[in-house]
Chains A and B, each alone.
Chain A
Amino acid sequence: MAQPVISRGFRARPRLDAHQHRIPPGQHLVTDFPVLSAGPTPEVDLAHWRFSLRDGEQVLGEWNWDEFNALPQTEIKTDIHCVTTWSKFDTVWKGVTVDDLLRAAGRDGPPAPYVMMHSIGGYTTNLPSADIVNGKAMVATLFDNKPLDPEHGWPARLVVPHLYFWKSAKWISGLRFMPANEPGFWEELGYHEYGDPWKEQRYVGD
């Protein structure tokens, strides 16, 4: 729209200059940690928890909870952005980068150009493989040095902080690489296939 509609009598909160480059368009800063999920929080039994990397149907690597926690651990501090318009600064996550997972499976890099994230409970979300390697994504098991809260994805969730946070699948159970892009759960329902917050890619066509 060329001319924005001015809302009479509305005064937006002043944005701190220091935040200008950290808050994407249409987002606002929060200090709590809101929850967004489409159904009940899954119950997970760590004794049966498995995380797998697959190329199509072929299993490249699979780890149980102890094996997963024995993989190299990385800590990141990052801002996160939810499509429902909140952003949160300086969140601290610890877990295993997708690079280290691929290495542990004996791979130099992703075996296919796209990837589907799969979660316990059936949630899925899709991405180009390039967006989860080279330090861009991890499977996190700790938030603020504590196990994740169940509603935030315990025991493990993906963290892809450069994209809207629905891409950071909670309760993740595996990554399935695929030759062509396919829509995941929200992507089927009209959400953007990529979800770059800096381009405000919230919905199809953005």
Chain B
Amino acid sequence: MSVTSPTNPARTTWRVAEVVEVRDETPRVRTLKLHVSDWPGHKPGHHVDVRLTDEEGLQAQRSYSIATPPEEKMISLAVERLEDGEVSPYLAGEVRPGDRFELRGPIGGYFIWTVASGGPIVLIGGGSGVVPLVSMLRHRAAQKATMPAKLIYSARRYEELIFREEIDRLAASDPNLEVAYTLTREQPAGWQGGNKRLDKDSLAALVPAPNVNPQIFVCGPTGLVEATARFLVEIGHDRGRIRTERFGPTSA
């Protein structure tokens, strides 16, 4: 008895990933650029499972979204350090170039967007939930795609906006990409963006109207995703056009 799958036809085997470069994106988020032997390729929105093994043979597994687009040869993960985490303090702290761990993927197949899926698209991210959305934006830019795209990105503070400079650069060079930030805890002097959590009014103002029928991707902590998806449905967006991915506090 077997089930054939259009997206993951083969077994998802563990591969060795070697850290090529580490880069601090924010005080708590670090990007790991990885060389993965025989990486089969992925689509924007896919994630991977990471498996760490310590010297006593004890292992720990966690899932991380891929930040890079399919066009890049190496994949990057952006890992947020959770203070009481078992895995993230290692990946976002201790790890340095040359270190190795196991990884398998790509995993997922629903929270996925490629330029072939068309637009308009609305990407709504909270905190490190922006990572798979940035993979989508990078892919869109690499393909020089022109369908309307909007990123709505909620973070606590300005310095916690992951990939902010790159996102601003993409938006500045692309008339079809709009970006809206909201900072829920603290805003710098002269801040022009939003200053509270996304609510029904702000979403109604920011998201293209339901009659435009945008594809909407929402990724972030459970509270943000639950509330945002509910508001979007109340505003009149088709449930079937809203795809969600939730990060629990346990994605450490």
- Interface positions of A (Cβ within 8 A of B): 1, 4-15, 25-28, 30, 32, 34-43, 84-86, 121-122, 151, 181, 183, 185-190, 193, 202-206
Contact = CB atoms under 8 A, between A and B. Distances in A.
B27 interface: no
Given A4-B102, A151-B226, A183 B244 contact: no
Q: Mostly helix, strand, loop or mixed at chain A's interface?
A: loop
20 contacts: A1-B14, A4-B102, A6-B54, A9-B95, A14-B58, A15-B58, A28-B86, A35-B226, A36-B246, A38-B111, A39-B244, A40-B229, A40-B233, A84-B63, A183-B5, A188-B3, A189-B7, A190-B12, A193-B1, A203-B12
Interface size on B, as a range, is: 35 or more
Given A5-B102, A7-B99, A189 B230 contact: no
B61 A7 contact: no
Contacts of B117: none
Contact of B52 (A7, A188, A190): A7
Given A5-B102, A35-B248, A43-B233, 15 more contacts: A5-B16, A7-B99, A9-B90, A9-B95, A9-B99, A30-B250, A34-B248, A35-B222, A36-B246, A37-B246, A186-B110, A188-B3, A188-B6, A189-B5, A202-B49
Contact of B61 (A6, A13, A26, A188): A26
Interface of B: 1-3, 5-12, 14, 16, 49, 51-63, 86, 90, 94-95, 99-102, 107-111, 222, 226, 229-230, 232-233, 239-240, 242-244, 246, 248-251
A157 B109 CA distance: 24
A128 B2 CA distance: 13
B233 to A, nearest CB: 5
B86 A190 contact: no
A86 B3 CA distance: 25
Contacts of B57: 4
Contact of A85 (B63, B229, B246): B63
Contacts of A14: 58
Given A5-B102, A32-B248, A206 B226 contact: no
B3 A189 contact: no
B102 A39 contact: no
A4 B60 CA distance: 12
A10 B5 contact: no
Nearest to A187: B3
A121 B240 CA distance: 9
